[in-house]
Amino acid sequence: MANPRAGVLGVTFGMLALASFILISNEENVSANAWALLALSGVFAAATVMVFFQGDGDLDQQDGANSVQKTSTQETQAQVLPDPSDDGFDVPIV
């Protein structure tokens, strides 16, 4: 079954673009309202394309969705920070 969200966004894009072209033809110039409608129709066109090519959204089909890798939390000597008092730094007393 087709994605109904893509259809709704596509119809909205078409209606905004048609309204913009009708506004331009009635006023015989491109006004700020026509530019706003054209910009909104571009946003809806991009949303339509994104939703149309979006996958089903099932996480079970993605690679690595069910695999869990356990990592070791072992600290090495390079990861441990030295104590400042051992290295000659003074400990401030507040």
Flag whether 80 is in a domain. no
Q: Is residue 24 part of a domain?
A: yes
Question: What string of DSSP letters covers 10-73?
Answer: HHHHHHHHHHHHHHHHHHTS--HHHHHHHHHHHHHHHHHHHHHT-----GGGSTTSS-------
Residue 65: inside a domain, yes or no?
Answer: no
Q: How far apart are CA 94 and CA 79, in angstroms?
A: 29
Sequential pLDDT tens for the chain (94 residues)? 467 888 888 888 889 889 999 998 998 888 898 889 888 898 888 888 888 888 655 444 555 556 666 666 676 767 777 777 777 777 677 7
- Give the total number of structural domains in the chain: 1
Write down the pLDDT at residue 76.
72
Whether residue 83 lies inside any domain: the answer is no
pTM assigned to the model: 0.52
Q: Residue 26's domain spans which residues?
A: 17-56
